[in-house]
Amino acid sequence: MLIIFLSLSFLSSEWPKSNGNTNYFRFGTFTKRLLRQNKRFLGVTFSAHNFAAKRRRKFRSAMIKKNLTKKGIPISVSLKSTLDAEDVKPHFTQNKKRLITIGGMAVGIAVAISFIAKFLVHLIYFITNLSFYGSFSIAHATPANNSLGLWVIAIPVLGGVVVGLMALYGSKAIRGHGIPEAMEQILTNQSKIKPTITYLKPISSAIAIGSGGPFGAEGPIIATGGALGSTFGQIARVSHNERKILLAAGATAGMAAIFGTPIAGIFLAIELLLFEFSPRSMIPVALACITGAAGHHFLFEAGPVFPVGHIIEAPSNTALFVYSIMGIAMGFVSVFATKIVYFVEDSFEKLPVHWMWWPAIGGLAVGIVGYFAPRTLGVGYENITDVLSGSLTLKVVSGLCIFKFISWAIALGSGTSGGTLAPLFTIGGAAGVLLAAGILYFFPHSGITLSLAALVAMAAMFAGASRALLTSIVFALEATGQPNALLPLLAACIGSYLVSFFIMENTIMTEKITRRGVKTPDSYEPDILETINVSSVMEEDGLVISDDNTIGEVREWLEKETEYNSNYFIIVNKDNIFSGIISSSNLFSNHHPQDKPISSLIKRNSVSVGDDNSLRAAVEMMAKENIDLLPVTSVDNNIIGILSYKDIISAYKSDSDNYVKNNPSISLKRSGLKMLVRGNQLINLITSKNK
């Protein structure tokens, strides 16, 4: 059969009337055309399909002998064992040992940030005692009990001046509440944060909060932990992705160290920092969060950070419905709060003074509000506990809700240093108590309680403002230790999240960096390249060039056979073993003598991708080698196809079609008509039998 096939090739009317290499070039092309038309020989285009091994080897050896004597350019009818000589294997396998190393680094960073968190809290207490009570002490203190009178207005102003000077002469990056800045560095700067932030951020935040700033300590410690992880990642020999993981590990370990909420820290990393969900990132972050939580228990306390004081009972179905409605209402409140914060920030941008003075101006507003409502000054974690326990009167709660919001919005908009989670929880919890009190007044049998309403509202407030849905739910559970609150939290946070999603384009975490032109991911779908194997999209017929052809011969043949023009070409030796890849630009460069062998142009490493590899591995290899074509090898390292960037684009297009609205797969109208026809046939059959 092989002889008949070769004879037909020579006797074909398509064979050109010329000699030398040109005849052979046309022979190669004609052979490929026959292979495409003849189903019996279609499988031998590459070595892995529908052809007995013995016949395949015989056919290949005959072709090689004929081709190489002509010094032609064979169209590969059996790209066979081309990488064996080079011992090239795909190298995109997950390095589990490396994962252990990064995990160890994350644990070390978490240990360090736990002690830094303790230092930050003590520093806040020290500045609070010094500023409001004139004592050199690190004992727990709150500005709410001060007796300074009108002088209390000056203290936040002085704190704002110091923060402004630190931002001006230290680093402008200390301004803000920490998480947006960390997100920006992850998305735009390969997770590189200035090492000076590691000490400037906690010191500036301690000054801002200790002098009465209405912020929490969680934002600064998250920023400090992220800076510490990033700095360590810049010192050690790690990749950009590993540095991102270390940054997220440090940031979330700081959150776990302050609040003792490791699971919420993990979700915070997923929703706001990592923008991925994979073992390579989750394991180090989880280890860091667990270590941070252990640091909280060792350095702070073992119980919940916001104890309610009593067990919250599981709600009834009616109460669960009411909590859901409250979540929707808190969604509107969170949108309003976010808009106001950035309205204030825009207003500060219009002031005819240097931005260094903005924190002082914000401090003036904080001081004035603090004079009338002392509870708004400082961290205010005790406010959250009091709201949850229901120990405050409605008058105090309403004042806390309104004045805390005014003070926080102005201070945050001024660009001073502080966190947002504690203020949002305070404002949300107070708003929840007020809303629940109104509901109970008009619907006394609704079944809701003030404590659970406060917990649900504060979590919904954060879920709507940040759109960190899972973080909000889990944080509320871990921080209070109330498992019966799970269903109300889930219902309320989802309601708030939906309102925020439909009304607000950005969040309190992303609005600032979006204005700077940084786009943050809003969905975490599986990478289409990870879900598709190379074997499903590769081309199973292709062109290879014998390495003993000259450069001039290859150029002449490709100029005639324009259908085979490509950016890159695969080169094989006389045994059909893969030699390398050459570029089209290098081939047609005028700097190369035409009589030199084509193999002299091979400058690249011998790279290939396995048929069982994902398209992601292939894309990474193409990017690393700066090529748009790869040979594909089977398990036994035989070349079985060629993968080009066009094949990958086609895979993307196929995936995008999944989101196109198509006609229903099941037509109810057609199914109904079929049922009517069958019913009519059954009736006719019964009628005919009765007759």
Domain boundary among 515, 542, 557: 515
Residues 395, 284 within the same domain: no
Residue 13's CATH number: 3.10.580.10
Residues 83, 100 within the same domain: no
Task: Give residue 248's pLDDT.
Answer: 93
Q: Is residue 665 part of a domain?
A: no
How far is Cα 150 from Cα 154, in angstroms, rounded to an integer? 8
Query: How many domains is the chain partitioned into structurally?
Result: 3
- Residues 177-190 as b/e (b if ≥16 CB within 10 A, e otherwise) read bbbbbbbbbbbeee
In terms of Cα–Cα distance, which of 173, 177, 205 is closest to 192? 173
Residue 176 structural domain: 96-299
Q: Is residue 524 part of a domain?
A: no
Pairing of strands 578-583, 568-572: antiparallel
Residues 446, 495 within the same domain: yes
Residues 493, 546 within the same domain: no
Residue 390, number of CB atoms within 10 A of its CB: 16
Residue 215's CATH number: 1.10.3080.10
Task: Give residue 86's pLDDT.
Answer: 41
CA 665 from chain center: how many Å? 33
Task: Give residue 664's pLDDT.
Answer: 63
Q: Is residue 471 part of a domain?
A: yes
Q: Is residue 347 part of a domain?
A: yes
Task: Give residue 74's pLDDT.
Answer: 38
- Residues 565-591 as b/e (b if ≥16 CB within 10 A, e otherwise) read eeebbbbbbeebbbbbbbbeebbeeee
Contact (Cβ atoms closer than 8 angstroms) between residue 132 and residue 159: no
Residues 113, 65 within the same domain: no
Task: Give residue 78's pLDDT.
Answer: 32
Domain boundary among 299, 326, 350: 299
Domain boundary among 463, 482, 515: 515
Residues 387, 239 within the same domain: no
Residues 464, 597 within the same domain: no
Residues 53, 122 within the same domain: no
Residues 6 or more apart whose CB falls under 8 angstroms from that of 561 comprise 25, 29
- Output the CA–CA distances (angstroms, integers) from residue 178 to 222, 354, 484, 497, in the order listed: 7, 22, 32, 22
Residues 282, 168 within the same domain: yes
- pTM of the entire structure? 0.74
Contact (Cβ atoms closer than 8 angstroms) between residue 385 and residue 301: no
Task: Give residue 644's pLDDT.
Answer: 81
Pick out the chain residues at pLDDT < 50.
Answer: 1-93
Q: Is residue 310 part of a domain?
A: no
Q: Is residue 327 part of a domain?
A: yes
Q: Is residue 660 part of a domain?
A: no
Task: Give residue 513's pLDDT.
Answer: 85
How far is Cα 514 from Cα 524, in angstroms, rounded to an integer? 18
Q: Is residue 307 part of a domain?
A: no
Residues 127, 52 within the same domain: no
Residues 255, 379 within the same domain: no
Residues 294, 323 within the same domain: no
